[in-house]
Amino acid sequence: MSATSQSPQRSTPTQDSVRRQNLGALLRYVHVSGDTSRAELTNQLGLNRSTIGALTADLAGAGLIDEGAPQETGRAGRPSLVVRPRSSRVYGYALSIEVDRLRAARVGLGGKVLDSRELPRPAGTAVRDTVSILAACLHDMQRAAPADAVFVGSGIAVSRMMRHTDGVVRMLPPGPGATGAAGAETRAGTDLGSALGLDRPPMVGNVADLAALAEHTRGAAAGLDNVIYLHGDASISAGIIAGGRRVTGHGGHGGEVGHMVVNPQGRECGCGSRGCWETEIAQHVSLDRDAVLACVEAARLGDPTARTAVGQAADWLGFGVANLVNIFNPTAVVFGGALRELYLAGATHVRGRLSTMALPACLEHVRLRTPLLGDDAPLVGAAELAFERLLADPLETAEP
């Protein structure tokens, strides 16, 4: 028998796949941008008016968008119809397992939070032990959801760190049969999926990656294609967007910028190495949110020890950012979590390090920013994951 006759006979891409692609592109645009005129869709998607009309009719028929007259613009002529994402017909679940808390939300198209729960994460609770708590939240929200609303997917943000019962925050230990945090993440996804009876497990990412996705989609780095989002949360990890795409590495473990060694003579780090970036910062100001806030406030009130500490921590912050700028040539660096306050208090030090250590060509277009979505970023990013399948194939996925 020849190899040919054994090969699977997959279907040929047809007009259908083009239509599906266009439906997804239009729905994604409206999901991210909110109310959009048909004229803008015509421009942005490069499709003609009759095609846009046919696509919006299909999406409206499926209950995914509404069309209506725009707000009065004062311009003459017939105004273009406005397309709005409809948040009630389909929903996803967004979950976030952070160092200190657990969050769950039911989110509608357009990113609208329809329902949400937040609970503390007890110290010493491993990711897998949070599953039953989150499952109870979801069951609760599911009962409150309208009977005709369609569930389209879920996403979950998992912190690589946990607070142990001794109060110390450490990286998640590798578990049996899986490696490190990603192993825990994958297990959490699978466990949650089965605990909830979902027909597909949640899509899983780490907190920094999903906060980066959120700020890139709807926040401080919207419209920018090369972004480093730094998440300070006991440790420092990065969510990296390069060329408009998430850089997560082979096993999803990339972005461990906190363990970039910047000082061979530095302090021992919990990872077993010495002089890691996060350790050098933390020897001056602990990367715990409350500790940063307290130190920054003391510095603001004139405490000389606190001022020195903030200055030195911010100097190290700039040191590592300069390295990342040389590696990634980004257009934005976003300081998230505990790093927000440190950056705001020590921006002069950060900029000083950048100007002496970053190559001019790499630094030229870099903007330093704080998050627009604040603490919601990981949850918003998880919601973006939840809608991925719908936006790839709107009509099929939205079917009850």
Q: Which is nearer to its own copies, 358 or 379 (CB)?
A: 358
Residue with tokens 């439906």: 23
| 339 touching its own copies, by CB under 8 A | no
Amino acid identity, position 355:
S
Q: Which is nearer to its own copies, 117 or 253 (CB)?
A: 253
- Closest by CA to 218, choosing from 23, 14, 382, is 382
Shortest separation between residue 53's beta carbon and its own copies, angstroms: 11
Shortest separation between residue 281's beta carbon and its own copies, angstroms: 13
| 205 touching its own copies, by CB under 8 A | no
Q: Indicate which single residue of 246, 307, 349, 369 sits in contact with its own copies (rule: CB under 8 A).
A: 246
Q: Which is nearer to its own copies, 13 or 400 (CB)?
A: 13
| 322 touching its own copies, by CB under 8 A | yes
| 51 touching its own copies, by CB under 8 A | yes
Q: Indicate which single residue of 113, 323, 375, 388 sits in contact with its own copies (rule: CB under 8 A).
A: 323
| 126 touching its own copies, by CB under 8 A | no
| 272 touching its own copies, by CB under 8 A | yes
| 75 touching its own copies, by CB under 8 A | yes
| 190 touching its own copies, by CB under 8 A | no
DSSP-derived 3-state class of residue 229: strand
Q: How far apart are CA 92 and CA 173, in angstroms?
A: 30
Question: What distance lies between CA 100 and its chain's CA centroid?
Answer: 18
DSSP letter assigned to residue 259: G
- Closest by CA to 339, choosing from 363, 359, 310, 365, is 310
208-227 binders of its own copies (CB under 8 A): 225-226
23-42 binders of its own copies (CB under 8 A): 37-40, 42
131-170 binders of its own copies (CB under 8 A): none
DSSP-derived 3-state class of residue 171: strand
Question: Which region among 74-82, 102-110, 205-213, 284-292 touches its own copies (by CB under 8 A)?
Answer: 74-82
Q: What are phi and psi of 219, to 5 degrees?
A: -125, -135
282-311 binders of its own copies (CB under 8 A): none
Q: What are phi and psi of 68, to 5 degrees?
A: -165, 175
Q: Which is nearer to its own copies, 78 or 143 (CB)?
A: 78
Q: How far apart are CA 32 and CA 388, in angstroms?
A: 12
Question: Which region among 93-101, 136-144, 249-257, 284-292 touches its own copies (by CB under 8 A)?
Answer: 249-257
Task: Compute CA distances 257 → 27, 267, 323, whole Å.
Answer: 35, 16, 10
Shortest separation between residue 145's beta carbon and its own copies, angstroms: 35
80-99 binders of its own copies (CB under 8 A): 80
Number of neighbours of residue 309 by Cβ within 10 angstroms? 20
| 398 touching its own copies, by CB under 8 A | no
Residue with tokens 């959801």: 145
Number of neighbours of residue 53 by Cβ within 10 angstroms? 16
Shortest separation between residue 283's beta carbon and its own copies, angstroms: 13
| 253 touching its own copies, by CB under 8 A | yes
Q: How far apart are CA 174 and CA 180, in angstroms?
A: 4
Q: How far apart are CA 400 and CA 397, in angstroms?
A: 8
Q: Which is nearer to its own copies, 195 or 262 (CB)?
A: 262
